[in-house]
Chain A
């Protein structure tokens, strides 16, 4: 079974530029998550989708971050414009069912973003 795919793996941009990350979850997984992992910290949830609807985006900086999951499969996370403090690893995860709290989340390899 293929895992969660993410691209690109690395991205370097200058502040105020735009950047987009792509995620393809495990086939059949209804729930998709985007996390931000700053160096030295644990991942922090940015947004959670159930199929193509947003379940939780309470920690997403909506003035500069946006995400979509058209057709309920793959997803794109965008930052526009980027700030220095956005330098982090952006992790995508998916799980089969949303409402089971014990459900395992499967993580992709992440996209490492460096903002100069």
Chain B
């Protein structure tokens, strides 16, 4: 079985401050990990993904995430928040093993950026 836990359903940061969104996963086989962003009334858009190559993954819009196997984490960061980053962020896990091929999402973190 696989699962994702996103710590903090709501995160607020000031514009220009560091963004840190936390994601921990559980998987019985080596996972593939994804971060998606969802803007209001829109579908999900892929920010970045980890596919067992480099542990530090760079994505779009200045976001990056680091895969830490020892901590079973895949936290999303951005050095300087912009107002346009306000959205809901979802971490997801997928494993290459039978039914675990399903993309399993966390419950999401709503990011608010304060002026």
Chain A: minimal CB distance from B88 (Å): 9
B102 within 8 A of A: yes
Tell whether, in the assembled complex, residue A107 and residue B108 are in contact, meaning their CB atoms are under 8 Å apart.
no
How many Å lie between the Cα of A110 and that of B92 in the bound state?
A: 18
Indicate if the CB atoms of B43 and A107 lie closer than 8 Å: yes
90-112 of chain B: CB within 8 A of chain A: 90, 92, 94-96, 99, 101-103, 105-108
Q: Smallest CB-CB separation from B108: which chain A residue?
A: A42
How far is B105's CA from A23's CA once the two chains are assembled, in angstroms? 21
CB distance from A107 to the nearest CB of B (A): 3
Q: Are B92 and A101 in contact (CB under 8 A)?
A: no
0/1 interface trace, chain A 31-48, chain B, CB 8 Å (1 if under):
001000000111111001
Which residue of the partner chain, among A42, A44, A102, A109, contacts B49 with CB atoms under 8 Å? Answer: A102
B9 CB contacts on chain A under 8 angstroms: 40
Q: Whole-angstrom distance between the alpha carbons of A10 and B94 in the complex?
A: 30
Chain B residue numbers with a CB within 8 Å of A106 are: 46
B44 on the interface (CB 8 Å rule)?
A: yes
Which of A3, A91, A105 has most B Cβ within 10 Å? A105
Task: Give the size category of A's interface with B.
Answer: 20 to 34
Give the interface size bracket for B toward A: 20 to 34
Cβ–Cβ contact A104 & B49, under 8 A: yes
Q: CB within 8 A of A109: which of B4, B41, B96?
A: B41
Number of A-B contacts (CB under 8 A): 54
Are A101's CB and B94's CB within 8 A? yes
| In-complex Cβ contact of A56 among B51, B102, B105, B107 (8 A) | B102
For residue A4, CB closer than 8 A to chain B, the reply is: yes
Tell me if A108 is interfacial: C-beta within 8 Å of chain B.
yes
Q: Which residues of B contact A108 (CB under 8 A)?
A: 43
**Smallest beta-carbon distance A25→chain B, Å:** 12
- Interface positions of B (Cβ within 8 A of A): 4, 9, 32, 36, 41-46, 49, 51, 90, 92, 94-96, 99, 101-103, 105-108
A–B Cβ pairs within 8 angstroms, 25 of them: A4-B43, A40-B9, A42-B4, A42-B92, A42-B108, A43-B105, A44-B105, A45-B102, A45-B103, A48-B102, A56-B99, A91-B44, A93-B43, A101-B32, A101-B95, A102-B51, A104-B49, A106-B46, A107-B36, A107-B45, A108-B43, A109-B41, A109-B42, A109-B43, A110-B42
